[in-house]
Amino acid sequence: MFSLPEMSRSLSSTTRRAQKIYAADPGLEAAFSPTATRGLGQRLETAAFVKLRRSCGFLRKDALTWAQLKDGSASHEVDFVLGDALVGEQLRLVQVMISLEDESTARHEFSALDTAMARFGQNESWIVTMNQKEDRKLPSGTVHVVPAWGWLLGD
């Protein structure tokens, strides 16, 4: 099991902030999950975590985090922020979702990435889905929607 801390620029608050927990492998999560409600979406997010964790292995421990952002009265969560929060260097913003078919959920995920791109000064981000591919222009930049099979293989 691995923990993923919430992004913070404060060293003192990192131990008190919320953390997400991921299995070392999506198969382990599926085999030992106490409930069936954490299905394909959670396994896909775990697979994304494992790939990102491997890709930032040479960076500091908090180079892979997640972020909770406020935009007026709305609250957004970005699944993965790959970069160095302490020096303000965000290299990649990644959301994970099964598909974009549910318009309400898709709108919420795009809004979260738009807010994050504006906040962190990025002009692109990614949504990993099961099989959809598109580029969507938002006010703060471009969101690349990519199929998991290609993204996990490094395409």
pLDDT for residue 26 is more than 90: no
More confident position, 20 or 51? 51
Reported as a pLDDT band with limits 50, 70 and 90, residue 60 is low
Reported as a pLDDT band with limits 50, 70 and 90, residue 29 is low
Distance CA 22, CA 12 (A): 23
Contact between 117 and 138 (Cβ < 8 Å) = yes
pLDDT at 46: 85
Distance CA 13, CA 51 (A): 27
pLDDT (tens digit, 9 = 90+) per residue, 74-113? 788 888 888 875 666 667 899 999 999 999 999 999 999 9
Distance CA 108, CA 95 (A): 11
Q: For the chain, how many helices (H) and strands (E)? A: 4, 8
pLDDT at 139: 95
pLDDT for residue 121 is more than 50: yes
pLDDT at 131: 93
Contact between 126 and 146 (Cβ < 8 Å) = yes
Q: What is the pTM of this model?
A: 0.77
